[in-house]
Structure 1
Amino acid sequence: MEAKFKILLIGKSGVGKSCVLNSFTTSDYEMVQAPTIGVDFKVKEISINNDKIKLGIWDTAGMERYRVMTPSFYRGVQGVILVYDVTDRGSLNDLNSWISELQTYADKSNIVGLVLGNKIDKPRAVSTEDGRIFAQRYRMMFLESSAKTGEGVNFAFEELARKVYETPGLWEYENAEPAPSPTQNQQNCCSGYIW
């Protein structure tokens, strides 16, 4: 069987969202990456419990002038990776506004969220503990990565996809009956949910 998951990458411009995406989908890293204008889209297939999962990954522009385009991309999202730059404390604080936007425009209440501290190959301005505390405040998973070295990148996408896969009612197989809706206890007890 095959399933499709819609994954969104959000965060401030310059945090390395496009580099993280390229590292995951093509194992490439470019020192100089032009800012994303509007949105970029890539697909990668993975396997979870012998099921084929096609990840459709949307890389949104982090620049303010393009943010007006992003609300429509929140519809149908099952997983979101919120990326910040560990060398820039402001990029972590900026995730608050992205989370607010996500809560406003997303049409699913049990989206799986992962906060990803990128650029761990460089000197830090944000400790691992600060990133973890931020993620816990919003009941999201937390990981760190380096798009440059590839460290943590595949694991981040795979863990997010696995959590989406394990979330009742969040996705369904292609050409199959919808998965049952989660009970109230399931909706409120599990970590990795945004709200």
Structure 2
Amino acid sequence: MSLGYYDWLVKVIVLGDSGVGKTNILTQFCDQKFSQNYTATIGVDFKIKILNVQDKKIKLQIWDTAGQERFRNITQTYYKGAFGIIFVYSLIDRNSFNNVEGWIKSILESTTDEVCSILVGNKLDSQDRRVQTAEGEKLAQKYNMPFIETSALENKNIQDIFDRLGQNLKIRLENEGQKVSNNTHTQSGQFKLNQEANQTEQPTSSCNSC
């Protein structure tokens, strides 16, 4: 499928501690690839993929952010304009789960915009589980967001992350468009979103097989 046609262009950010599998989740979704060799993301990178949601096509600009503390100030500058947030922790790393609320608070402090979010517990393939499913569900309920456990290694539930996020994005985008269309002095919601997204840098890579 060509990346040329889409109904909406949406910025999505993937947040979480270093080593939880953010990059592998992204590469599985966009490129159907998984790397056993861990390489920390430096700063920010992003990919693009078209997501089909019912009768609409949402062009996702997905930003993969560094989880290390020294990059926090860099990544926070990319929060602006995000319509979707994927919070990721590792099921075998208790600290990464405990730090999720810190990532959520950093979003709340950086933007007043309402965003669609989802909580992801990754590394479901491992036998060394340190965070139980019920704990993830409880945290997701606290912040009123969907929750899913995944394995980037086995490509388990990876598509489901974006399908579930996409459903919520579609609802919000249609609601935003309806609000704007009722105001004759304002540009259309779709144009506004595309205009903001087009002001960002060009992606370093994209999924041409989408």
> With structure 2 as the length reference, what TM-score do the two structures score?
0.79
Aligned partner of 1:153 among 152, 158, 161: 158
Matched residue type, 2:117: G
Query: Partner of 2:22 in structure 1?
Result: 17
8 Å contact from structure 1 (residues 76, 107) kept in 2: no
- The count of residues paired between Structure 1 and Structure 2 equals 175
2:23 aligned counterpart, secondary structure: helix
Distance 1:136 1:43 in 2: 29
Distance change (3 Å), C-alpha of 1:170 and 1:150 = farther
Note if 1:116 corresponds to 2:120: yes
Task: Give structure 2 stretches of 5+ with no counterpart.
Answer: 1-5, 180-186, 191-210
| CA distance, structure 1, for counterparts of residue 123 and residue 107 of structure 2 | 24
**8 Å CA contact 2:177, 2:188 repeated in 1:** no
State the alpha-carbon separation in 2 of the partners of residues 145 and 154 from structure 1: 10
Q: Tell me which residue corresponds to 1:65.
A: 70
**Unpaired runs of 5+ in structure 1?**
180-195
Structure 1 residue 145, shift from structure 2 partner: 0.5
Aligned residue for 1:38? 43
Change (3 A) 1:85 1:6: same
Q: Deviations over 1:93-127 (max 9, x none)?
A: 1011111100011241x211100000000021111
TM-score normalised according to structure 1 size:
0.85
- Partner residue, 1:192: none
What one-letter code is carried by the residue in structure 1 that aligns with 2:126? K
Matched to 1:137, the amino acid is: K
Contact 2:177 2:189 in 1 (8 A): no
* Superposition map of 1:1-150 within 5 A: 2-108=7-113, 110-123=114-127, 124-150=129-155
Which range is displaced more, 159-168 or 37-46? 159-168
Partner of 2:188: 177
User: Residue 170 of structure 1: CA displacement?
Assistant: 8.0
Query: What letter is aligned with 1:162?
Result: Q
Aligned-pair CA distance for 1:50: 2.0
User: Alpha-carbon deviation of 1:49?
Assistant: 2.1
**Structure 2 CA distance for aligned equivalents of residues 8 and 65 of structure 1:** 18
Question: 2:188 and 2:164 mapped to 1: Cα distance?
Answer: 25
Larger Rg: 2
With over 3 angstroms needed to count, the CA separation of the structure-2 counterparts of 1:128 and 1:68, relative to structure 1, is: same
Point out 4+ residue stretches in structure 1 off by more than 3 angstroms.
none
CA–CA distance in 2 between the matches of 1:112 and 1:170? 16
